[in-house]
Chain A
């Protein structure tokens, strides 16, 4: 019925709540990209020589690569010379030793975002949240909490720029080992210019005593954020890691091209959760973040397990396929995704599960929600190689449409080279039904709460994979994303 379509349409009009700009003095490189810029980034970070060489090698490869245009998305091309590749808040040269040394406006920014950088406050926190945080502001990490406590357990959790100083051998060994430099256009660019990001190392047999998380914030105008995250879980280790991201509202598009690499050795488990809430642009499609991200994990040992859980509500364009390469026998890959697009947002997201070892198994649960004129594409690949006897995959892709101007598209690719493999695929496309809305409203719920309840129910299979605190956060985020709907 057209009346309620309008109402649903109105439902997606909401304000982006994290859209403020922090007025802070920063040290930003002028826009432009060439070898000198890369040398300058490396110099400012006081990097070892091998790192600079690595960056330059990536840059030279990148120059020869064509920009991809195969994803189901439309956007105006990026001029890579208009972007600034490094921006840092002006700060004492060496990183802050204590909170007193962090610019109070920065602390305020993170407080506004609800991210605790004060360990005392976290400890005293009502929720009793047991979370260590690495906060990345534009190109640099401004604060990492609970490092001492983690160090006691042997866990390394620090900005990757610092790991380059303190643990160069680990970086040398693992950086680019899962996502090679020339893997794709944006990963290659990232390899050349990456600024900061988190580094996590969990030694053999250690269960990381707390949740680790990184919050990324783009503040400066015309800067790109190119963070690089590397997580290594040695034999039998376990870690749960969460990233969250926000940016101010700006009329220009900003580029975010991250690379995340996960390495899980024998019997290790890495749980990687993302709540992505970059600025999505306005209702006419002005501004917003281009979120072009490469995320991949490698189960290098038997019985290793990697789970990706993502809740994607922000960004003008999202283009990411967190993947798992299942080398070890009996290793497990999981992908749980909720992607919400409204107004003019576009998302092309999914996963790749590459089965190499015997009895490997993977699960894919994807929930796409499209509202307004949002376009939502699931693109997934399941590949069973010759030696992967007894490999199993279960895929489920559900789309929920709100209104009649949005779109949902599903592209599941399957390649099976081993006859003993079993694959199951389920897909559905539905609309929020009038019947469901009427039913809930008859019970007293406002239209807005009814829609939110139905949408949250639709996402349940994914939300329950998130760490508790973040499941609540994700649910709230969905509510906010659908706020102001009913008019």
Chain B
């Protein structure tokens, strides 16, 4: 589904990702862990096509297409979804209006009919219930005045509504209480399917208790330095990152 080969990315002339490669197959869940500043969010932003992230080497192929050729919104149209580490506030725009526009933009991109008001309402009610979000949140401005945890929950609601093919979750678990964590995890699990892949960026192994990844990668200084199964996450929790960095240094 996603094939990243020898990817090098610069931000403001500074090389952040260096020669990074990653293969994500259909239905797979990959966890990416790594110290602060190692480039996890950079990877997420590059995949989503954010301005200012310049690919200076390597390639990203997604569903057989060169992802770097596509506009931000077209990547979304192709089923790529990014749950933001820091969801953005949009004053005066209600959550529900934004979601309606988003759903219908994707429908349009795919050459499908827009949802009727009734269909849309039915869908959003169902999904809001799934992430245990009160109806009142739908009428509020996007993320405005939401608590940290509510913002993250809102990201999962959006993901559930947009039903992506590849979802990238950037620290969606950070700042969540235990109950919220479970809600987010069950939201994610509900979306797991053989056609849908996920990249989950996290600092905490506890999320991986709920969402069991197929692979765990360690990103350090712009490159994936170790890949394992979920036991790697447990080991990282116990021992931190320094032992890996030492291993890497030794070569």
Contacts and interface: CB of A to CB of B under 8 A. Distances in A.
Given A435-B88, A460-B93, 10 more contacts: A438-B88, A439-B90, A440-B98, A444-B73, A446-B105, A453-B93, A456-B93, A457-B91, A457-B93, A458-B92
A459 B92 contact: yes
Given A1-B52, A434-B51, A446 B73 contact: yes
A4 B72 CA distance: 13
B95 to A, nearest CB: 11
Contacts of A434: 51
A438 B50 contact: yes
B33 to A, nearest CB: 23
Interface string A431-462: 00111101111111111010001101111110
Contacts of A442: 48, 72-73, 75-76, 81-82, 84
A445 B105 contact: yes
A459 B75 CA distance: 29
A3 interface: yes
Interface string B34-76: 0000000000000010111000000000000000000111011
A407 B240 CA distance: 51
B105 A449 contact: yes
A443 B82 CA distance: 8
Contacts of B98: 440, 443, 453
Interface in B86-120: 87-88, 90-93, 97-98, 101-103, 105-106, 109
B92 A444 contact: no
Contacts of A444: 73, 76-77, 102-103, 105-106, 109, 162
Contact of A4 (B51, B84, B87, B103): B51
B227 interface: no
Interface string A394-411: 000000000000000000
A445 B73 contact: yes
A1 B51 contact: yes
B91 A458 contact: yes
A458 B89 CA distance: 12
B160 to A, nearest CB: 13
B21 interface: no
A226 to B, nearest CB: 37
A457 B90 contact: yes
Interface string A369-398: 000000000000000000000000000000
A82 B236 CA distance: 83
Nearest to B74: A444
B141 interface: yes
A456 B158 CA distance: 21
A460 B141 CA distance: 10
Contacts of B93: 453-454, 456-457, 460
B14 to A, nearest CB: 16
A454 B144 CA distance: 13
Which residue, of A453, A454, A459, A461, has the highest number of chain B Cβ atoms within 10 A?
Answer: A453
A475 B101 CA distance: 15
Going nearest first, the 5 A-B pairs with the smallest beta carbon separation are A457-B92, A460-B92, A457-B93, A444-B105, A443-B102
Contacts, number: 79
Given A4-B51, A443-B98, A444-B162, A453 B76 contact: no
Given A444-B76, A444-B162, A445-B73, A453 B90 contact: yes
Given A4-B51, A439-B87, A445 B92 contact: no
Contacts of B52: 1
8 contacts: A435-B88, A441-B73, A441-B76, A442-B81, A442-B84, A444-B76, A453-B101, A454-B90
Nearest to A433: B88
Which residue, of A439, A447, A449, A458, has the highest number of chain B Cβ atoms within 10 A?
Answer: A439
A345 B213 CA distance: 56
A338 B9 CA distance: 42
A241 B88 CA distance: 38
Given A3-B51, A444-B102, A439 B88 contact: yes
Interface in B138-191: 141, 158, 162
A449 B141 CA distance: 17
B92 A443 contact: no
Contacts of B106: 444
Contacts of A458: 91-92
A403 to B, nearest CB: 15
A391 to B, nearest CB: 29
B72 A441 contact: yes
Contact of B92 (A440, A441, A461): A461
Contacts of B91: 457-458, 460
B169 to A, nearest CB: 13
Nearest to A458: B92
Nearest to B75: A442
A114 to B, nearest CB: 23
A403 B247 CA distance: 49
Which residue, of B50, B87, B101, has the highest number of chain A Cβ atoms within 10 A?
Answer: B101
A438 B90 contact: no
B209 to A, nearest CB: 28
Contacts of A440: 90, 98, 102
A49 to B, nearest CB: 54
A96 B141 CA distance: 49
Interface string A12-27: 0000000000000000
B24 to A, nearest CB: 18
Which residue, of A436, A459, A461, has the highest number of chain B Cβ atoms within 10 A?
Answer: A436
Contacts of B105: 443-446, 449
Contacts of A457: 90-93, 141
A4 B141 CA distance: 25
A309 to B, nearest CB: 16
Nearest to A461: B92
Contacts of B81: 442
B88 A443 contact: no
A486 to B, nearest CB: 10
Nearest to A446: B73
Contacts of B90: 436, 439-440, 453-454, 457
A359 B148 CA distance: 41
Contacts of B87: 439
A250 B72 CA distance: 40
Contacts of A441: 71-73, 76
A444 B97 CA distance: 13
